[in-house]
Chain A
């Protein structure tokens, strides 16, 4: 009795090990399936965006029969970057990968990204074909290490119905933003029922506001922060804290903040928000009010950082020609990223895409989508550094201390500066 029990256990274990081995054979066949080259493509697109990416890959696989792309979700941008690091050292990396643009520098410095200049040329493309504001993270030491993929910028989302009710205009500068946001607050017995304005918990928005005040995140020589001069950093956070105190600014809890502000905005709990262009599609589908988008308000100047992911080819790939074929399809084919951009709301980034009939029609129908593209002329990324991912964590701590724990602004930023200098000197 007992023996047969043990035997069946052993049988199950053997089955498990065998079924594991089967998987390996299937996946290893780079050239196994009918002469097709298999390309591994890693990305961080989940939810509906992930489905749109799967559809793009399917369109590519159907369009020709030499290359087969296998797309795999590898977790959030940060998780995917960690995975990429470990897989490169283990030699199990993909051929093509999506990389959050701020991580590009770090990988490029380790020389693991392929220089795509010659491939670009072979397809008759030039760097100048791409929107300049989105190419900030594409070249490293004169090598073309990445190209835009799903790019976005922050933008001001407005519930115009509520603003109209109050006879308020869409703000174009900080002063107006503060006034309008305060005018929108509805309080009942000390409890705020409607806030004026919100933004997700992210480094993106403070950085945008630093640039709008003519500061830069890092200084020119990348030895320290660049927003201590003229107290730019202090002014940015004082501005936010002032608004937070009156209920004009709702600063969301850190966990899932993006989803929280989106939902508050769509349900009318807060009529204005700074948020990525990547949400326009979802909001216009769900908002039951007059929804408009506008440039981020200016302080001294208009400015916006950029975000989202780029695409890179790994230097370790054994199938670079095939990998480029896929990247080229994404960049140039109307069934490539152009369709993905139409589906999702990310920014078109080549002149050809922007001038295409599909995009022009879309912009005519949904002018909200055009705002972000127009805003690109003010795009500036001044947090480019190999050390950014590390500095980012420190900056998050500073934001947390100021926004959640009411820490004094000046000393907090001083501590942050010291940490940043330490990190930068180590790199």
Chain B
């Protein structure tokens, strides 16, 4: 009994330590976003601001066309996720459940796409988009991400675990392939889809490099670029304003995470319908 207590308390201490190391940067960010400039450069640093400076958020948001940035961020990220789902689900279904010539080669190509970093492709894509006259639109930030190779890969694994019998039963009931994909496979893959949606959301919502190289005007830029502009490369950065901007950037991610978290845990412990 005594031994059990020691292990239990050790367990809690370790959990608390891990939790703290992940949560602390967020706490510091929020704390800094509510401090005055003098407080941000004080040593030792303060964790609890003496009086919360909500005005920092107003300052950050009024330093540029932040409504446009936010609108662009929302349009870009949601379009990417919607288009990705439309492409990814049928593709994963085909790779998981069909046999056809060239399947292995095609799947290999998907995996290659998975491994290709954006830094390799940005110049040809920029030149192509400029050629099509699309640089001043949001398209260059959406179109290249139409298919999500990681998503196809993950979803294929998931679909492969769904027993053939279910699909056959549906076919016996005269369900079309279209119906099978959208009414049977998709609802059963909800945890995987939630995971993919979250990963995709976080990576595109937070993306700095791609929008920076693909956009030339403020009208089509997302939040990340607006927030990068708050930083001052020469002189002393206003960390309180930068952190206020970061809070605005991070809050939607936290909300989406809370919405998806239940499904994500399922996706990783999922072991098939037995």
Point out residues on A near B: beta carbons under 8 Å. Answer: 2, 9, 12-13, 16-17, 19-21, 23-24, 26-28, 40, 42, 44, 46-51, 70, 72-76, 79, 82-83, 86-87, 89-92, 94, 152, 258-259, 262-263, 266-267, 269, 276, 278-279, 281-283, 286, 345
A-B contact pairs, 17 of them (CB 8 A): A2-B182, A21-B137, A23-B137, A23-B138, A24-B133, A40-B216, A46-B230, A47-B238, A51-B63, A73-B218, A73-B229, A74-B212, A83-B213, A87-B216, A276-B234, A279-B236, A345-B235
Residues of B within 8 A of A92 (CB): 130, 135, 216
User: Which residues of chain A come closer than 8 Å to B235, judged between CB atoms?
Assistant: 47-49, 262, 278-279, 281-282, 345
Q: How far is the CB of B203 from chain A (nearest CB, A)?
A: 19
Chain B residue numbers with a CB within 8 Å of A152 are: 234
Identify which of residues 25-83 in chain B touch chain A, using a CB-to-CB cut-off of 8 Å: 37, 41-43, 63, 75, 78-79, 82-83
Chain B hits for A23, CB < 8 A = 136-138, 219-220
Q: Does B123 contact A (CB under 8 A)?
A: yes
Query: Which residue of the partner chain B has the closest CB to A50?
Result: B229
Interface string of B117-138 (1 = CB under 8 A from A): 0000011001100110111111
> Is B219 a contact of A27 with CB atoms below 8 Å?
yes
Residues of B within 8 A of A46 (CB): 228-233
Assess whether A16 is in contact with B217, with CB atoms less than 8 Å apart. no
B interface residues with partner A (beta carbon < 8 Å): 37, 41-43, 63, 75, 78-79, 82-83, 86, 122-123, 126-127, 130-131, 133-139, 142, 182-183, 212-213, 216-220, 225, 228-238
With contacts A13-B79, A20-B137, A92-B135 known, is A75 near B236, CB below 8 A? Answer: no
Q: Once the chains are docked, how many angstroms separate the CA of A17 from the CA of B132?
A: 14
B109 → chain A closest CB, angstroms: 25
Choose among B123, B135, B220, B233 the residue with the greatest number of A CB atoms under 10 Å from its CB: B233
| The residue from A40, A47, A266 contacting B231, defined by CB atoms under 8 A apart | A47
Given A12-B78, A28-B136, A72-B217, CB of A263 within 8 Å of CB of B236: yes
Closest residue on chain A to residue B76 by CB atoms: A16
By Cβ-Cβ distance, the 10 closest A-B pairs, closest first, are A47-B232, A90-B130, A20-B137, A278-B234, A282-B235, A282-B236, A27-B136, A20-B138, A24-B136, A16-B79
Complex CA–CA separation, A50 to B242 (angstroms): 14
In the assembled complex, the Cα of A19 lies from the Cα of B75 at a distance in Å of 10
**Of B41, B130, B134, B142, which is within 8 A of A286 by CB?**
B41
Q: B130, A91: Cβ atoms under 8 Å? A: yes
Q: How far is the CA of A267 from the CA of B42 in the complex (A)?
A: 8
- Return chain B residues, CB-CB under 8 Å to A94: 216
Kindly provide the distance from the CB of A24 to the nearest chain B CB, expressed in whole angstroms.
5
Nearest-Cβ distance from residue A205 to partner chain B, whole angstroms? 15
**In whole angstroms, what is the CA distance A258 to B232 when docked?**
10
| A90–B83 touching, CB < 8 Å | no
CB distance from A255 to the nearest CB of B (A): 13
- How far, in Å, is B88 (CB) from chain A's closest CB? 14
Please indicate the chain B residues that have their CB under 8 angstroms from the CB of A73 in the complex.
218, 225, 229
**A23-B137, A46-B230 provided; 15 other pairs, C-beta below 8 A?**
A13-B79, A20-B220, A23-B220, A26-B219, A47-B232, A47-B233, A82-B213, A83-B213, A86-B126, A87-B216, A89-B127, A262-B235, A263-B41, A278-B235, A282-B235
Residues on B with beta carbons closer than 8 Å to the beta carbon of A278: 234-235
Q: How far is the CB of B232 from chain A (nearest CB, A)?
A: 3
